[in-house]
Every structure is written in C-alpha cells, then in structure tokens.
Copies of this chain bind each other. A is one copy, B any other.
C-alpha cells in the first residue's frame, strides 16, 4: 500500500478544505491545534474538532496510530492527527503530558519561536538547549508515544532533543538552510544528526521557507529535495506543507505575538508584508502533491522514493511511534 500524508497543516478548517484534502488523496494529515493555548484552552479546541469530525464523518476522523492511516485509506477518508507547535498545554506540569496524550494528541513541539520551559526557540539570541524540565518531559513523551517535534526550535536544543530522546524525533515542517537561509530552516549538520538518529524532516511549502518565496519554482523545490535526500537519505524525507488555507492575517499576527509582547512583531514577515504570504502556484493547496510527484520524477527519484516522500516515509515513522 502507498500512503499520501501531509504532516503539517494549519488551515481555517471547513468542509471545503477536508474535501480538497480528499481530492488530493491524503490518507492522513497532522494538524496544528495549539500555538499558545494552555491545557484548558486545548480542551476547547478539541471540542471544536469533535464537531468537525461529527459534521464531516464521511471525510475525516481522529487518527491516533498508524493503523488509522491504513483505515483511512480503506475507507477513503483522511485521518487527522493532532499536534502542538508549542508546549503551552502542559504548562509547568509533567502530569499533563499523559493527559494531552490521552486526549489523542500525538505531536508536540518543545518550543515555538521563543524560549519555552523545555527548550529554546529559533528566534532567541542564545540557545541553552533542553532544560531540566525538558529532560523530564522528553522521558515522559517517549514513554507515552508523543512525538517530539523541533520544527521551530533552535539548533542546540534540537540536537539535545535528538540525543536525549530514546525515540526518533521529527522536524515536521522546515527546509534545509543550504537552499534558503531562514531562521526556521535547518543546517546540514543538524539534518545529518536527525537522519542518523532515524528522525524525519517534513519539507515545508510555506513561502517564507522557500527559495524566492511565492515565486519559488517546482524545479528548484525538487532539486532541493534531491540534495536533501543525498544528505539524509530519501526515506527520511516527507512533506509537512505548513499550509494555512483561508486563515485571516490576524491569525499569523496572533501566532507570532501570542500574549508575550505589547510591541509589534513581524516574525518571518516584515512591516510591509505582515500577513500570510501567497502560496506558489504549484502548491495552492494539497492538490499540489501531484505537481511535486511529477517534479520529483524529473529530478530522478524512483517511484519507490517518490511514494516514500509523499507519504510512506511518514507512515513508517508513525509505525515506530508507540
């Protein structure tokens, strides 16, 4: 069986988007359900998702293990896996790690852009690595089968997490910085350590992570993928599009600022371009997977490797979660 998985989406969810994901043939998506929410707020977010599940039960259901990816394919649905881009839901309480797992959450970033109680985000000046509390939380995440995601974390913190974790970790949505230098993209050294430790990289389609942004070409993206495969092995690469369909610009403002600052903060944007950037025309939504498929063929990937990158590699990673 071959699977198609987009391992990071954060859309303004609607039936239309679930239909698009089905049209794209996605068997599974990992969706961000938390940027800054605490545990109580997480419960509210999950309540909203229960509504999505019941109203769109012909299209989606809550995914909790790799078996749900298989089930999704045989039922022609998309399994939706929950993840956080921040550790805010566990607050300062090790006991909440199990509670978020029990609520069906499967990925947690140790940090968003700033310092968290667990590790350092990529927007801080100095990276002190995984903290005392972070070490305890990693142990607990490993025990439960909650995946450590370091997409927004700083380099030393990420390397620490890889070394401390007894299970492979993920960078669900980022690109290599050799291709496009950005705070959110990752060095060759880090990507090598990640893949040497059975970790996965989900390639991002978010314009701020792409060479030439919105104007990035599919050829350039696929050449980058080929070089990344030389570095990491093609089986360590997947897609984590970071697609934010139909989100208003107030959302990206909130993602960046949360409640931590009274000043303006443009994150990856700028004063002149504070909002969500436009997607490249070959990846307006998940149906762009077909463009990536053709593009990867053109740069010389085998059918097997392409199927891996488009979903099977993530499927295998999910298999090792528990």
Q: Which residues of A contact B (CB under 8 A)?
A: 36, 38, 88, 91-95, 114-117, 120, 123-129, 131-134, 136, 140, 258-263
Given contacts A136-B263, A259-B94, A260-B136, contact A126 B128 (CB under 8 A): yes
Copies in the complex: 2
Question: Would B260 and A92 count as touching, CB distance under 8 A?
Answer: yes
Residue of B nearest to A135 (CB): B261
The answer on a CB contact under 8 Å between A94 and B260 is yes
Q: A115-B115, A116-B117, A117-B117 are in contact. Are A258 and B132 (CB under 8 A)?
A: no
Q: Which B residues lie within 8 Å of A123 (CB)?
A: 132
Which residues does chain B contribute within 8 Å of A261, judged by CB atoms?
94, 132-133, 136
8 additional contacts (CB under 8 A) given A92-B259, A117-B260, A133-B261: A94-B262, A114-B132, A115-B117, A124-B131, A126-B129, A133-B260, A136-B260, A136-B263
Kindly list chain B residues whose C-beta atoms are within 8 Å of the C-beta of A263: 136
Contact between B92 and A88, CB atoms less than 8 A apart: yes
A132's contact among B117, B124, B131, B134, by CB below 8 Å, is which? Answer: B124
Main SS class of interface, A: loop
The reply to whether B258 and A92 form a contact with Cβ atoms under 8 Å apart is yes
Residues of B within 8 A of A140 (CB): 262
Q: How far is the CA of A144 from the CA of B305 in the complex (A)?
A: 59
Residue on B nearest A156 in the bound complex, by CB: B126
Given A120-B128, A126-B128, A114–B91 Cβ distance below 8 Å?
Answer: no
How far, in whole Å, are A126 and B154 apart by their CA atoms in the complex?
Answer: 14
- Chain B residues whose C-beta falls within 8 Å of the C-beta of A131 in the assembled complex: 114-115, 124
Q: Judging by beta carbons under 8 Å apart, are B132 and A128 in contact? A: no
A125 to B95, CA, bound (A): 24
Among A94, A120, A127, the most chain B Cβ lie within 10 Å of the Cβ of A94
In the complex the two chains form, is B133's CB within 8 Å of A114's CB? yes
Closest B residue to A96 by beta carbon equals B259
Q: How far is the CB of A264 from chain B (nearest CB, A)?
A: 12
A124 pairs with B128, CB closer than 8 A: yes
A115 touches which of B94, B132, B258, B262 (Cβ 8 Å): B132
A-B contact list, 10 entries, CB within 8 Å: A92-B258, A94-B259, A95-B259, A115-B115, A115-B128, A115-B134, A116-B117, A120-B128, A128-B128, A132-B260
Q: Give the CA-CA distance A256 to B81 in the complex, in Å.
A: 36
Contact flag A259-B93 (CB < 8 Å), given A114-B133, A115-B115, A115-B117: yes
Min CB gap A97→B, angstroms: 10
**B residues near A95, Cβ cutoff 8 Å:** 259
Q: Which residues of B contact A36 (CB under 8 A)?
A: 92
Q: How far is the CB of A100 from chain B (nearest CB, A)?
A: 14
The chain B residue sitting closest to A259, CB to CB, is B93
Once bound together, how far apart are the Cα atoms of A88 and B91, in whole Å?
A: 10
